[in-house]
Amino acid sequence: MVIETVTERHLGREALLAMRAVADAVDLARLVERDVATGALSKGDASPVTIADFSVQALIAARLARDRPSDTLVAEEDATALRTAPDLSTRVVDVVRAAEPGLDADQILDWIDRGGGNPGRRFWALDPIDGTKGLLRGCQYAVALALIVDGTVQLGVLGCPRLSLAHQPSLSAEADASSEGGIAVAVRGRGAWWSARSDESLTPLSVSRVSEPARACVLHSFETPHSDVEALRRVVETLCVERPPWLMDSQAKHVVLASGAADVLLRFPTLHGCHEAIWDQAAGSVLIEEAGGRVTDLAGHPLDFSTGRHLSRNEGLVATNGVLHDAVLKAVQTVLQKHSLPGA
Ligand code: AMP
Ligand code: MG
């Protein structure tokens, strides 16, 4: 995917370089989609990691090292497991070299390890494959890159290889085989846009105007270990929401909310003291805010990206079209306090 029509003047230099890196990462991910099931590893927290995760991290780290050599990268993966798995490592090296010829194998593993940077005053946050389980299941996933300065997300780019905003929402987790994918970008103070794969122009994103909770379309993770479904059920019941929740993997949900195709996005910790990783919320939160929506934690506090690799001052997530925010927060607090659930 080449983004010829996105002008530097319109979005700024950082956005352009981030979009180009994510666009190439999306192409790379689509190329290896069919091969990821073989060779997926299980990480310490039992979540899967694939050649797509490693290859995308290497590619984006290499681009940032070239274009912004003094910037820090804070990313989800590291190359430790690859260094003791030569077969997997060879596959990753082959995939990355196809996109970025001339890199040597050791250098590729070193690029991946550049993601272990310390989140300081200015840094990039990357989830190379957000929703790896979705990728493996034939559902949504996203390449998520954000620039954070002084604890605030200034720029977010989400590459969504299986998302289409052209169709009517199906409320299905499974990606439509005909989905062409695209890239969402938001620049703080400038707006949020979607660029479909086949149409390189930028379409402004803006949230819905639904104001009655009963008519809301509520997004939630497909994965029950990632967010408490019992809390979701109770909040939806409290708000008398008529439609069943739309279960979807990754920050593709944030794009759908920003586009106005859904109205509310909820995330509840499954354990007390469990905090979201910054790369799981950074790009998506600026996208929703720039599309006119509102993003807070379950207590109504803004997300604070100055606390390291995790949002340790925030629990859970409430993202809405803005109009519905106070009503949803109230229902969330009622449910959490009544049932002593994490996040109360
Ligand atoms: P989603 O598809 O919205 O659940 O988001 C996928 C992301 O959830 C993954 O990229 C993980 O970083 C993150 N994740 C994995 N385990 C958990 C957990 N127990 N609680 C919250 N998020 C998690
Ligand atoms: Mg993730």
Q: Which of 132, 270, 296, 320 is the catalytic position?
A: 132
Q: Which helix (H) or strand (E) holds 319?
A: strand 317-320
203 is catalytic: no
Per-residue DSSP letter, 5: S
- The reported pLDDT for the residue numbered 272 is 78
- C-alpha separations of 22 from 93, 129, 130, 183, 254 in Å: 18, 11, 13, 8, 17
- Splitting the chain (344 residues) into consecutive groups of 10 residues, what average pLDDT does each group show? 57 93 96 84 84 97 96 96 91 93 92 96 98 95 98 98 84 82 96 89 95 98 96 98 97 98 97 91 98 98 98 98 98 91 66
- The reported pLDDT for the residue numbered 271 is 86
Q: Which of 27, 53, 113, 130 is the catalytic position?
A: 53
* Ion ligand 2, residue ranges at CB < 5 A: 127, 130, 280
- C-alpha separations of 237 from 155, 260, 328, 334 in Å: 35, 22, 11, 12
Measure 226 CA to ligand 1 centroid, in angstroms: 5
Burial bucket for residue 143 (CB in 10 Å: 0-12, 13-18, 19+): buried
Predicted TM-score (pTM) of this structure = 0.96
Q: Are 143 and 252 a contacting pair, CB within 8 Å?
A: no
Structure tokens at 171: 């409320």
Q: Are 163 and 139 a contacting pair, CB within 8 Å?
A: no
Measure 156 CA to ligand 1 centroid, in angstroms: 18
Sheet order of strands, 246-248 included:
246-248, 218-221, 264-267, 317-320, 294-296
* Closest ligand 1 atom to 223 CA: 4
Q: Whose CA is nearest to atom 18 of ligand 1?
A: 226
Q: Whose CA is nearest to atom 21 of ligand 1?
A: 226
- The reported pLDDT for the residue numbered 1 is 47
- The reported pLDDT for the residue numbered 336 is 93
263 is catalytic: no
State which of 256, 275, 280 you would mutate to test the pocket of ligand 1, scoring each by most atoms of that ligand within 8 A of its C-beta. 280
